[in-house]
């Protein structure tokens, strides 16, 4: 009697970086963050997740693409990075999500959705989300002090719903329809909630 090997799930990440950053005054993702730039920190979080590859979705800021490519090269991650443009990014976050999901290879079992303005995702969070998905959840989200954060991890069964999103709505609309099929994974750091919407936010990161 032989036992067929079970293929481990193939996970990938999407980093949404197509917005104009209007509340920031423009140029948000290229703003200085610690020893680098905001978008570089977001990419580092995605590369650190248990993923086979990372898809960066660009749009409003043409400067993001060359910076991302140079950073990936410097970190030895160029082979894991794909960059796609959401040409209809002005529609809102749904357009960015659609572009990212449409670029996923056919063997993808689950996708993390990272935001380009969230630089403090704790390293233990994505593996914990992956374990929840492997345990049978349709999706998994980190929760800190009762609040849902990012990244979210969505299983293959939800890709069609993501492709059907319109307007300025993200994965939250899909998660809301799942009820108890969403695994809430406790996070020990407010980094899962911290996003940079204004220049002032750069100076007030949470303790992690």
Report the percent of the chain where pLDDT is more than 90. Answer: 86
Q: What is the DSSP string of 53-117?
A: -EEEEE-S-TTHHHHHHHHHHHTT-GGGEEEEE-TTGGG-HHHHHHHHHHTS-TT--EEEEEETT
pLDDT digits (tens, 9 = 90+) for 151-190: 999 999 999 999 999 988 888 889 998 999 999 999 999 9
Instruction: Say if CB 119 and CB 45 are below 8 A apart.
Output: yes
In the numeric block, which tokens belong to residue 132?
Answer: 């929840």
pLDDT digits (tens, 9 = 90+) for 77-124: 999 999 999 999 999 999 999 999 999 999 999 999 999 999 999 999
Strand (E) or helix (H) holding 174: helix 172-176
Query: What pLDDT shows up at residue 1?
Result: 43
User: Which pTM value belongs to this model?
Assistant: 0.94
d(CA 84, CA 53): 13
Q: Which phi and psi angles does 205 have, rounded to 5°?
A: -70, 155
d(CA 148, CA 185): 9
Q: What is the DSSP string of 28-44?
A: GGGSEETTEEHHHHHHH
Class of domain 11-203: alpha beta
- Identify the band that residue 203 occupies on the pLDDT scale cut at 50, 70 and 90: confident
pLDDT digits (tens, 9 = 90+) for 1-28: 444 456 789 999 999 999 989 889 989 9
Angle between helices 64-74 and 38-48 (to 10 degrees): 50
* Cα-to-chain-centroid distance, residue 8: 21
Q: Which of 53-57, 137-141, 197-201 has the lowest mean pLDDT?
A: 197-201
């Amino acid at each position: 009697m032989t036992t067929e090997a079970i293929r481990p799930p193939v996970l990938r990440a999407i980093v949404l970086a197509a917005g104009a950053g209007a509340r920031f005054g423009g140029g948000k993702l290229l703003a200085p963050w610690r020893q680098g730039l905001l978008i570089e920190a977001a990419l580092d979080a995605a590369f650190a997740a248990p993923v086979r590859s990372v898809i960066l979705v660009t749009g409003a800021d043409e400067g993001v693409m060359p910076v991302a490519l140079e950073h990936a090269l410097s970190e030895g991650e160029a082979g894991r990075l794909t960059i796609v443009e959401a040409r209809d990014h002005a529609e809102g976050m749904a357009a960015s999500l659609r572009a990212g999901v449409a670029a996923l290879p056919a063997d993808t079992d689950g996708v993390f959705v990272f935001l380009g303005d969230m630089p403090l995702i704790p390293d233990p969070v994505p593996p914990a989300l992956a374990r929840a998905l492997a345990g049978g959840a349709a999706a998994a989200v980190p929760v800190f002090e009762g609040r849902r954060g990012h990244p979210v991890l969505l299983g293959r069964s939800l890709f069609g719903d993501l492709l059907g999103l319109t307007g300025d709505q993200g994965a939250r609309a899909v998660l809301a329809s799942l009820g108890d099929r969403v695994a809430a994974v406790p996070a020990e750091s407010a980094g899962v909630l911290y996003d940079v919407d204004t220049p002032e936010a750069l100076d007030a990161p949470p303790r992690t």
